[in-house]
Structure 1
Amino acid sequence: QIEILGDEDASFSNFTYIGKRYTDLTLDEISFFQYKLQDNCLMLKSLLLEALNKRRIEEGKSQIPLSTFYKFLGNLMNSMGIDENDHYRWLKTKGINVTEKYFIENARASIQTPFSFRDLKN
């Protein structure tokens, strides 16, 4: 629609649609994402973006926009088989099979229960 207006109306001829601006990601940066997500798929995405933009600034490149980063990262996670809504995603990325007997609520509750050696006998 913007292109048509630019051709037909002179007031739109110098208008640049920001959606046309592409962010270039290198293969090294994509590998960096994959490595970090395989290592810890629960990591804060904002820290990953911060680390990436720091590297890009050091290399003299422009920073990755926030929305572009999250959209790309979501697509990458889907292609890696990491479901953002899956409570067991960390276990699955580590190759641990989760059976139907495993309930994350019980696991969390067991962590909250303090264990004491006081009442154990020899």
Structure 2
Amino acid sequence: YNYQKGSTLLEALVALVLTSIIALGGALSIGKIMQAHRQSNIQQIAVNKLRVLLQSGSSLCGITPAPNITINNQSLNVTVTCTNQATTVKGANVTITKTVLSVTDSSLGGEVKVGE
């Protein structure tokens, strides 16, 4: 027993601590990736709903109340911005109304715009 120093036990403890640190870092990274993926999915849903609303064929400029979209059982107010742009088509002056839809929410990571 005089020559036994317990170095194997110490090496095992150091290996366990290092493995725990690596596992914790991996778990935190996976959590951040999952959060970013979820936010990206919610943004894509919002973009799709705004595109459907924009392509509905009805004029959204000046309508009251402003349209809403529902994402994850949460109703979000859509901001409609309309600008007139003059252009020339085959020598004729034409005014085109450009409609931009946007929605802002923390679950989206800020503002999502469609129509720009």
- For normalisation by structure 2, the TM-score amounts to 0.30
Higher helix share: 1
Higher strand proportion, which one? 2
Higher relative contact order (CA 8 A, sep 6+): 2
What is the TM-score of this pair, normalised by structure 1?
A: 0.29
